[in-house]
Structure 1
Amino acid sequence: MKPRSLMFTLYGDFIQYYGGEIWIGSLIRMMAEFGISESSVRGATLRMVQQDLLQVRRVGNKSYYSLTEKGKRRIEDGVRRVYSIKSHKWDGFWRILTYSMPEEKRDLRNQVRKELSWTGFGMISNSTWVSPNPLEKQILEMIETYELKEYAMLFSSSSLLSHDQQYIIDKGWNLQSIQEDYKTFIETYRPKYEMLKECVWNDSLTSLEAFVERTYLVHYYRKFLFNDPGFPQDLLPHNWNGNEARDLFWNMHQLLSTLSVKYFESLFEQAPDREIQAKREKAINPFAEIYI
């Protein structure tokens, strides 16, 4: 695992429920369980501060890190999609973003493409991206954050005159490839789930093992955020295996949750000048009340 990616997993799955701020020492100890060195953790946090994803606060001789607004937006969107427990029905509208940026804005253009792909948009032609999901708020926030009003426009339309809906889906996304990735996930984690279930029933699974397994699980599953656009159920193929993968993820996550949170709490240290109202139950069951 890359340090930055693992940090996003830890913030989204644990830290956000404990005030959203963590001592760098706690973070170093947690990430050491995944073979990441102290120097790599410190280097990654420095780069994330420079990228306006993390902010640092010093209390005495200790440094505490929390997400910036930009980082929170990324985490909140990811958490909402990872822990959704049912798909929504399509409202019949396509959200369409078009942009035109000068060559000197190449880095910005690349960043916008990454964020659109992360959000679930598909590119149907050069600088034209679409989504059937109600993502107006997120995209308007992105336009505001990156100051894109001069370069980008967001439309919504229920009419497609020249092609059918399936053409747009095939143009913007490769659902067959995503299904193959879900198949691999299911084949990898189905036997592991059965094995871990036996360990939990026999009381032979330690809190450290549960913490590592849950983190790897979430880290693996959240990669689908970069591929699966989270389509409404009525636009998905009839044999879509993403639902089976999601159920397996949910069951395994819940199996490991209580023990993994126990281990996280043994390492987590909050700043002495803050009283944290820990949302422990939410950390154990982040699926509650999240619907898409």
Structure 2
Amino acid sequence: PHPQTQFIIFVLFGDVIVHRGGQAWTASLLRMLDVLGVSERAARSTLSRMRRKGWLKPEREGRHSLYALTAKGRRILEEGGQRIFEPRKQEWDGRWHLAVYSLPEKKRRLRNDLRKRLSWLGFGRLAPGTWISPHERHAEVAAMLDDLGAREYAEIFSGLRLEGGDDREIVERCWDLRSLNQQYARFIARWEPEFEKCTQSLVRGDGLSPANCFAQRFWITHEYSPFPRLDPNLPVALLPDGWLGDRAAAVFNGYRNLLNERSKEFIETALTGVNGRTI
């Protein structure tokens, strides 16, 4: 099945457009989405839907429109997505950080939102209403609580050592790393051969066209982009044997870097809009 067009547009903004002024002409978006296999009709209806949801805002210039993310749309990208290039923390001081909340039953929706957002920030569920992370993310959690209007229901505790418990047992309780490792294995099986094949093609001088480089670079980013929200990015000391996350990250970063220059050629052409203006 074709990936959800809405998600494709979010990845396009996060990976391409926010780094080039944050705005794109409708025609530029349609051109890039066409290369990615999205029809003009599907693209236009999705852009309209994202505008109605308050994620995108259009700015009219005569008969043409520029699209940009709203503050609400940027928040969706930034939580989790900002960790897509975050290096793994090699050293760990053995301290844990807790977020604890207690909500009345009528706040069920807020409870669900809290769980989802804490998970995005790399926390694991230790017990009902108690989430844990080896990373100090006090500022991010506080901002998230303010965003949800949940500050009065939650407390953040930092720098705790858990007595009488094995840290790896805590990891097993709080995160399903076995399932995540299987997803990494599938990602590697899909993209490592492509990376090797493309490397050999470039050595022979018969590499992909700029449009194909853009498409390949986009799709590997699209497929990798859920991992920052699934992977708590645990320190090496807490990882299980045979962990594939770092190998998957090496494939992701290596293939993207290989495709960068030719992909940029297509992007610069696509983003040239009204009267040759590039945003």
TM-score in terms of structure 2 length: 0.88
- Cα distance in 1 for residues equivalent to 2:248 and 2:53: 33
Q: Which residue of 2 aligns with 1:15?
A: 17
Decide which of 261, 264, 274 is 1:261's aligned counterpart. Answer: 264
Write the deviation string for residues 179-236 of structure 1: whole angstroms up to 9, x where unpaired: 1211121122121111111222323410111011000000111121232111122221
Q: Which residue of 1 aligns with 2:35?
A: 33
Decide which of 86, 90, 97 is 1:95's aligned counterpart. Answer: 97
Asked whether 1:141 is paired with 2:143, we answer yes
Greater displacement, 49-58 / 14-23: 49-58
Mapping of residues 1-292 of structure 1, within 5 Å: 1-201=3-203, 202-269=205-272
Any stretches of 5+ residues in structure 2 without a counterpart?
none
- Cα distance in 1 for residues equivalent to 2:184 and 2:259: 21
Q: Secondary structure at the match of 2:27?
A: helix
Code of the aligned partner of 1:75: L
Q: Secondary structure at the match of 2:151?
A: coil
2:27–2:273 contact (8 Å) kept in structure 1: no
Code of the aligned partner of 1:257: N
- Cα distance in 1 for residues equivalent to 2:168 and 2:75: 31
Greater displacement, 235-244 / 66-75: 66-75
Alpha-carbon distance change, 151 to 57 in structure 1, aligned in 2, over 3 angstroms: farther
Aligned-pair Cα RMSD in Å = 2.3
CA shift at 1:86, angstroms? 4.4
Greater displacement, 165-174 / 112-121: 112-121
Alpha-carbon distance change, 167 to 86 in structure 1, aligned in 2, over 3 angstroms: closer
Q: Secondary structure at the match of 1:134?
A: coil
Alpha-carbon distance change, 270 to 256 in structure 1, aligned in 2, over 3 angstroms: same
Write the deviation string for residues 70-113 of structure 1: whole angstroms up to 9, x where unpaired: 33234344454222344342233322112233444333332332
1:21–1:270 contact (8 Å) kept in structure 2: no
TM-score in terms of structure 1 length: 0.84
Q: Secondary structure at the match of 1:150?
A: helix
- Cα distance in 2 for residues equivalent to 1:168 and 1:233: 15
Alpha-carbon distance change, 111 to 229 in structure 1, aligned in 2, over 3 angstroms: same
1:55–1:67 contact (8 Å) kept in structure 2: yes
- Cα distance in 1 for residues equivalent to 2:153 and 2:86: 33
Code of the aligned partner of 2:70: T
Counting matched residue pairs gives: 275
Any stretches of 5+ residues in structure 1 without a counterpart?
277-292
- Cα distance in 2 for residues equivalent to 1:134 and 1:65: 35
Alpha-carbon distance change, 147 to 84 in structure 1, aligned in 2, over 3 angstroms: same
Code of the aligned partner of 1:151: Y
- Cα distance in 1 for residues equivalent to 2:106 and 2:100: 18
Larger RCO (CA within 8 A; separation ≥ 6): 1
Alpha-carbon distance change, 6 to 159 in structure 1, aligned in 2, over 3 angstroms: same
CA shift at 1:150, angstroms? 2.2
